[in-house]
Amino acid sequence: MNKPLLILVAGGSASGKSTVVQEILDKAGLDDVLIINHDDYYHDQGHMELEVRYKTNYDHPSSLDNELLYDHLVALLNGQAVDKPVYDFVMHTRSDKIERVTPKPIIIVEGILILENEKIRNLSNMNLFVELDDDTRFIRRMLRDMKERGRTLENIILQYDNTVKPMFHRHIKPTKRFADVIIPNDRKHDIAVDLIVTKIRQILGEKP
């Protein structure tokens, strides 16, 4: 297999990164793709009391094990399989499960802070940033966290006010400058998707 194409997809929490990625893949007719969630690389907190884990700032770059992700991406880009961690958002620490992943022609890494790390950016062929109105993102996050992660409304609002909102403006939004394409997800973005699909096909066609 030729060296995989690596795409990084950033954007605020609940901005619709996964939905936009799927739209791109569907339009490009691509299915042999490895998608990695940056969230799975949050640091292990199993040695901490659960009450302490609740207070972790998950929207700060220091919450993520980027060294491990970097090593895994280097291995995957060189054709080697890796054992990827799986994060448990209910227990706020890494799960006991490990996912064996093998390289594919296209590797996509999604995450709010994936464009913040320079070493990881330097591995990438294409950087995307999905943008959505703050209020809409909050509503989506609230519904997701209550349904999928067992959070209370009070806990969601507290976390949003204390860390999610300020960290977005301090650490996440500034990474737009590293994006090759900024995708507005609050209105039609067909042109942006078409440009990305064309570029992906062009890069894949250039590979020996």
Domains of the chain by range and CATH? 5-202 (3.40.50.300)
Phi and psi at 116, nearest 5°, equal: -80, -30
Q: How far apart are CA 133 and CA 138, in angstroms?
A: 9
State how far Cα 184 lies from the chain centre: 17
Between the CA of residue 83 and those of 62, 74, 117, 158, 175, what are the distances in Å? 22, 13, 21, 34, 28
Would you state the pLDDT for residue 208? Answer: 44
pLDDT under 50: residue ranges of the chain: 208
Amino acid at 195: L
Would you state the pLDDT for residue 151? Answer: 86
3-state secondary structure (DSSP) of residue 111: coil
Condensed to tens digits (0 to 9), the pLDDT of residues 33-67 reads 999 999 999 999 989 998 888 888 999 999 999 99
Would you state the pLDDT for residue 206? Answer: 62
**For the whole model, what pTM was predicted?**
0.90
Q: How far apart are CA 156 and CA 141, in angstroms?
A: 8
